[in-house]
Structure 1
Amino acid sequence: MSTILIVEDDEVMLKSLQDAFEHNGFDVLTAMDGESGLQIAEINSPDSIILDVMLPRTDGFNVCRTLRKRGVTIPIIMLTARAEEIDKVVGLEIGADDYVTKPFSTRELLARVKAHLRRTTEKVLSFEHYEFGNVTLDLTTFKAFKNKKQIDLTSTEYSLMKVLIKHRNEVVPREKILNEVWGYDSYPSSRSVDNHVLNLRQKLEDNPDKPEYILTVHGLGYKFVG
């Protein structure tokens, strides 16, 4: 049974989400402000987090950023009442795995959470380790090393690398990445893929501005040549 932490300051919505996830077999932890959410996440180590952006005490962006800095790689799905593209970009850049704009379908949110959790446990590849350049990836324990120093990747970044490695030396369209990584083809924008690729380059490439391994094929998608 998976444990999910829901951090939401709207009491009615929080109770509704708690009931829905418990009905679907989840153990549910709840918090109504950012600082409490951080404390609960640190103490209880949930399998996934649903995180509202607009929270008292500290907002969802800061919570997500802090968790990633602490090495937490579990799926984080952010909720917001604001539909601006910049909010989505910021959320993804600081390490969120998904972004849902209110109002949303609880059924769709459940499906997204389950898809993210499924990806963190599936062994997409038949091998455990992959090396390229000065990078080593352990694709079963979710550990990554560059120049023998451990670096932090999110669960979505690991899943994206699995897809790129599985199709290495092939052009992988953004739509295919969306479907294989997120588990559905209705994600708001292919910009999400671009932001996650940018994050991977910052972490894995020696020169992110002139990548050697994760290449852009303009108008088509991406190709991994490691």
Structure 2
Amino acid sequence: MPTILLVEDEPSLALIVKDSLESRGFQVDFAADGEAGLHQFRQQCPDIVVADVMMPKLDGFALAGHIRRENATVPILFLTARSQTADVVQGFELGGNDYLKKPFSMDELIVRIRALLARVPAAAAPVCLLTIGRYQFDHPKQKLRLGPQETDLTNREAELLKRLYDQRNQVLERTTVLRELWGDDSFFNGRSLDVFITRLRRCLKDDPQVQIVNIRGIGYKLIL
């Protein structure tokens, strides 16, 4: 069942959209402002985000910017009454995948959601638990297990570890990771990446056979 994060500050519209989507077989998580939406995104890892643009605390464009720094692939669909071409362009530049102007029909929203979900490459064989030495890594749930010991990872830690795992025993380029998870490869984001690598090393320290090594000037390698 596809999961949708709906971020909308108009309660009556949010209720209508949520009920309509759930009646069509979607699971819907709801947040009433952009700040709550970002928190929900990090906790739930939805299949798609449907977000209003004009919201309190964090507007839809700012929310999209935060999401894109952490996740390069999740589809984002904007809902908005703003119709200026500049607004539409800004939405796409910030990482949005589609733009639906209010008022809209539920049928059109559902068609657009399904079209966006269809563009996301399906995993050839979904794997819930990945083996990293003596550890079991549950990527969807962002958990790392060693026997009875369980460590909760943040969304970015989990995404970084998944990329290292996918490239295990090969070099994962630093620039690629920064652009996919942080949005750009600036100096400050590079320092942040170094901090996350250090955290993952601590999480994996109880198996000396597992190492994350620096490849100077290029990136990192997860050695199993």
CA offsets 1:57-94 (integer angstroms, 9 cap, x no match): 11111000011012342000001111111100000001
What residue number does 2:21 align with? Answer: 21
Q: How does 1:46-85 map to 2 (within 5 A)?
A: 46-85=46-85
What residue number does 1:219 align with? Answer: none
Q: Which structure 1 residue ranges, 5 or more long, are not aligned?
A: 124-137, 155-226
Amino acid at match of 1:101: K
Please state how far the C-alpha of 1:102 moved relative to its aligned partner: 0.4
CA offsets 1:78-128 (integer angstroms, 9 cap, x no match): 0111111110000000100001110111101101101111111358xxxxx
Q: Which structure 2 residue ranges, 5 or more long, are not aligned?
A: 124-162, 167-171, 182-224
Amino acid at match of 1:47: D
Q: Report if aligned partners of 1:73, 1:152 keep a CA contact under 8 Å in 2.
A: no
Q: Report if aligned partners of 1:71, 1:152 keep a CA contact under 8 Å in 2.
A: no
Please state how far the C-alpha of 1:33 moved relative to its aligned partner: 0.6
CA offsets 1:172-205 (integer angstroms, 9 cap, x no match): xxxxxxxxxxxxxxxxxxxxxxxxxxxxxxxxxx
The number of residues matched between the two structures is: 135
Q: Report if aligned partners of 2:47, 2:74 keep a CA contact under 8 Å in 1.
A: yes
What residue number does 1:175 align with? Answer: none
Amino acid at match of 2:26: F
What residue number does 1:121 align with? Answer: 121
Q: Report if aligned partners of 2:70, 2:180 keep a CA contact under 8 Å in 1.
A: no
Q: Report if aligned partners of 2:52, 2:78 keep a CA contact under 8 Å in 1.
A: yes
Q: Distance in 2 between matches of 1:57 and 1:149?
A: 31
What residue number does 1:203 align with? Answer: none
Identity of aligned residues (%): 39
CA offsets 1:138-175 (integer angstroms, 9 cap, x no match): 9xx8xxx8787335469xxxxxxxxxxxxxxxxxxxxx
Q: Distance in 1 between matches of 2:35 and 2:49?
A: 14
Please state how far the C-alpha of 1:40 moved relative to its aligned partner: 0.2
Amino acid at match of 2:70: R
Q: How does 1:84-103 map to 2 (within 5 A)?
A: 84-103=84-103
Amino acid at match of 1:149: T
Q: Distance in 2 between matches of 1:149 and 1:106?
A: 38
SS in 2 for 1:150: helix
Please state how far the C-alpha of 1:52 moved relative to its aligned partner: 0.2
Q: Distance in 2 between matches of 1:72 and 1:122?
A: 15
Quote the RMSD (CA, aligned, Å). Answer: 2.2
Q: Distance in 2 between matches of 1:121 and 1:68?
A: 17
Matched, 1:149 2:176: yes
In structure 2, relative to structure 1, the CA distance for the partners of 1:10 and 1:72 (3 Å cut) is: same
Q: Distance in 2 between matches of 1:70 and 1:150?
A: 10
- Structure of larger gyration radius: 2
**TM-score (normalised: structure 2):** 0.56
What residue number does 1:111 align with? Answer: 111
Q: Distance in 2 between matches of 1:85 and 1:146?
A: 36
What residue number does 1:171 align with? Answer: none
**TM-score (normalised: structure 1):** 0.55
